[in-house]
């Protein structure tokens, strides 16, 4: 129920932003784009500041960081592979050879899916620098007493409001944006690839299949998955889940600009996991264009709804 309420709230802010555009109160598109970039940097700075400022998080990084980061890498690799294979299968079934729908959509919106160059690494480098700057600032500051969740929540709401405005300014058809194969293919491939990565974690770290799948089934939603597993009686695994999903979110900020430049740009939405509907949605929109917003939001919403179902389900498996 909580995840459904969260989805509705986020959707409400996006709709409100679109309505502002409809009633002619929105700023010019270039101003909207600049505001989105600045607010996105603010969100990343706060995320880094929290990681550096809370001693408990720093201690967990040293205690179970290997399992957390290993799970994040395995689930991300599985997701990317699954999305690529899904599109390869789709191409084979439709007898397409060199083009795919996402590439065409990106070209239509002015976003090139050409080869990787410095311009594609510069974006992730800037984003990573903002996170590192926040981490350093947090590490050298007195432990803050304010509620990080409340701060990032309002920053995120502001971002989604601006994204809704930008989507309306793009003049894209909402119906045509949702009625696309990617709306189903991306979240489905993300689920399969993420859980496949969890099976690899079970082998490498010698965990039971159930616990490894529960660890991976957070899909990047670190604020929920870690708490769920801890409440189920395994605080160590819960801490690993927290770090794993936080690492997935952090790595997604680096991978999204890079993957958006490949032949399968919608893999960028897959690596975002559950955060594709909120935290990483601004970056997805910046890299893939406004037409990617419905696919990204839908994928993130589907995965978010599954987290509170799959994590306890897998954790309870007897093997």
Q: Which residue has the higher pLDDT, 217 or 66?
A: 217
Q: Is the dihedral of CA 214, 215, 219, 224 positive or negative?
A: positive
Q: How many CB atoms lie within 10 A of CB 72?
A: 24
Helix axes 118-139, 235-259, angle to 10 degrees: 150
**Structural domain containing residue 17:** 2-315
Cα–Cα distances in angstroms (integers) from residue 218 to residues 100, 213, 259, in the given order: 30, 9, 22
CA distance 155 to 281: 13
209 pLDDT band, cuts 50/70/90, is: very high
The verdict on pTM exceeding 0.95 is no
Under 8 Å CB-to-CB from 264, ≥6 apart: which residues?
83, 84, 87, 100, 102
Helices 293-315 and 281-288: crossing angle, nearest 10°?
140
Q: How many CB atoms lie within 10 A of CB 54?
A: 15
Q: What is the DSSP string of 291-305?
A: GGHHHHHHHHHHHHH
pLDDT of the residue at 121: 56
Mean pLDDT within 99-126: 49
pLDDT of res. 193: 95
At 224-277, the pLDDT tens digits run 677 677 667 776 777 778 778 888 888 888 888 888 888 888 899 999 998 888
C-alpha angle 258-261-263 in degrees, rounded to nearest 5? 120
Q: Which of 240, 241, 263 is nearest to 307 (CA)?
A: 241
Rounded to an integer, the average pLDDT of 92-111 is 51
User: Is pLDDT at 318 greater than 50 in this prediction?
Assistant: yes
Question: pLDDT at residue 104 above 50?
Answer: no
Structure tokens that stand for 73 in this block: 């890498």
Residue 18 has a pLDDT of 80
Angstrom CA distances, 255 to 79, 89, 127, 249, 269, stand at 12, 23, 11, 10, 10
User: Average pLDDT of the chain?
Assistant: 77
Structure tokens at 226: 């870690």
Neighbouring C-alpha atoms within 13 Å toward the C-beta of 7: 18
Plot region of 83 (φ>0 → left; ψ -120 to 50 → alpha; else → beta): alpha
Local confidence band at 58 (pLDDT 50, 70, 90 cut-offs): low
Q: Which of 202, 186, 195, 167 is nearest to 268 (CA)?
A: 186
Query: Domain total for the chain?
Result: 1
Report residue 191 CA to chain centroid gap: 13
Is the pLDDT assigned to residue 78 strictly greater than 90? yes
Which two three-digit tokens encode residue 267? 């893999």
Token digits of residue 21? 């555009």
Nearest-angstrom CA–CA distance, 165 and 10: 13
């Amino acid at each position: 129920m909580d995840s459904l309420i969260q989805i509705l709230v986020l959707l409400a802010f996006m709709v409100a932003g679109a309505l502002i555009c409809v009633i002619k109160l929105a700023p010019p598109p270039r101003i909207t784009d600049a505001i989105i970039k600045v607010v996105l940097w603010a969100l990343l700075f706060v995320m880094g500041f929290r990681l550096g400022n809370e001693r408990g998080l720093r201690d967990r990084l040293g205690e179970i960081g290997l399992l957390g980061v290993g799970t994040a890498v395995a689930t991300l690799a599985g997701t990317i592979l699954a999305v690529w294979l899904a599109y390869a299968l789709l191409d084979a079934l439709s007898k397409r050879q060199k083009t795919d729908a996402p590439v065409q959509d990106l070209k239509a919106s002015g976003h090139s899916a050409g080869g990787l160059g410095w311009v594609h690494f510069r974006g992730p480098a800037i984003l990573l620098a903002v996170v590192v700057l926040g981490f350093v600032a947090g590490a050298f500051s007195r432990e803050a007493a304010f509620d990080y969740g409340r701060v990032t929540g309002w920053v995120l709401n502001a971002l989604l409001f601006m994204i809704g405005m930008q989507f309306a300014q793009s003049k894209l058809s909402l119906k045509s944006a949702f009625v696309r194969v990617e709306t189903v293919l991306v979240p489905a491939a993300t689920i399969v690839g993420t859980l496949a990565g969890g099976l690899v974690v079970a082998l490498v770290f010698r965990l039971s299949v159930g616990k490894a799948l529960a660890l991976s089934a957070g899909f990047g939603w670190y604020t929920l998955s870690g708490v769920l597993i801890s409440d189920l009686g395994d605080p160590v695994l819960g801490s690993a889940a927290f770090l794993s999903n936080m690492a997935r979110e952090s790595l997604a900020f680096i991978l999204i600009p890079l993957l958006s430049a490949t032949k399968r740009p919608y893999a960028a939405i897959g690596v975002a996991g559950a955060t594709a509907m909120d935290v990483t949605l601004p970056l997805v929109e910046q890299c893939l264009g406004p037409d990617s917003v419905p696919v990204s939001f839908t994928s993130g919403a589907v995965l978010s709804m599954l987290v509170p179902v799959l994590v306890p389900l897998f954790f309870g498996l007897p093997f």
